[in-house]
Amino acid sequence: MSSRELPTFTGPNLTGEQQVSFLPDIERRDLRVARVSAVTPRYRRIVLTGDDLAAGFPFVRFACGDHVTVYFPAPGSDRVVAYRRTPDGGWEVDSTEGEPVRRDYTPRAWDPVARELTLDFVVHDHGVAGVWARDARPGDPVVVMGPRANWLLPENYPRYLAVGDETALPSISRLVEEAPAGAHVTAVVEVADAGEEQPLRPGDGVGLEVLRVHRDTAPVAAGHSGALETALRGVPLPDDTGELFVFAAGEAGAMRGVRRYLRGEVGLPRRQLSVDGYWKAGTADHDHHTGVDEEPDEHEG
């Protein structure tokens, strides 16, 4: 299918289910770090800038699950290996000195005036992206490619449930900020401990209730995928579940339990769910496009 034949949806999305708007092309942007701030001890907010942002960036309201692919220098190198266009319109690795090192991230914010793209990172003492974010300094180079498409959440629900761990906080934060006026959002957020909590700020006219789950100490009931599922099962749901849309993202195994509960026990139809396994315990380079049931699911979960 050529780019001209790919589906394009123009919002607002009042269809009751997630819609996709493919972009005409994948853009490569060679950027550099402008600023780094520590949101929590294990969380960094990194602002990127560069001339390749002069033409803008496809940051779309309520496309909370969008992602770009970020290419990092390999350990021990200061050079970023990524992809470049070929004369025939394809893509090729831009170096013979290594393979691309990449991870997917949800854009947290876009400032068209300052031409700055903001990404949030969970930092680690292991893993290429986490270590890079921990040590990032102004001037450090990265390559950002994408997004390939904007995934627009439906805006015609009175109730939203946002569920996830710290890797989903950019998406959950955007959902809370960008939800339609008059809606009520319940956010169930799992982090390591109280020191990793982040404030969530609802948009104008949006009600918000936050349930915080501390992974290190929260109970896990027998048969549950983790503390997040146990906490979620304690959240009161509306009597009319047709009023509810759920966005959930985080560790793939935990998301499998979340989806099983919402689909199998609550009985939510697929159109009212967006569930994504952003990462997988024990897997360094998990492909979240495979879905939480280990099969392609077009982000539907």
Structural domain boundaries in the chain: 3-150, 157-290
pLDDT of residue 287: 56
By CB neighbour count within 10 A (0-12 exposed, 13-18 middle, 19+ buried), where does 216 fall? exposed
pLDDT of residue 289: 53
pLDDT of residue 73: 94
pLDDT of residue 5: 60
Q: Do residues 205 and 155 lie in contact, with contact meaning Cβ atoms separated by under 8 Å? A: no
- Residues with Cβ within 8 Å of residue 194, at least 6 apart in sequence: 214
Q: In 3-state terms, what secondary structure has residue 96?
A: coil
pLDDT of residue 299: 40
Which parts of the chain sit beneath pLDDT 70?
Answer: 1-5, 282-301
**What digits encode the pLDDT tens for the residues 218-240?**
999 999 999 999 999 999 999 99
| β-bridge mates for residue 28, sequence order | 145
Does 2.60.120.260 match the CATH number of domain 157-290?
Answer: no
Does 2.60.40.1930 match the CATH number of domain 3-150?
Answer: no
CA distances for 300 relative to 19, 87, 271, 297, angstroms: 10, 35, 8, 6
Q: How far is CA 40 from the centre of its chain?
A: 18
End-to-end alpha carbon distance in the chain: 23
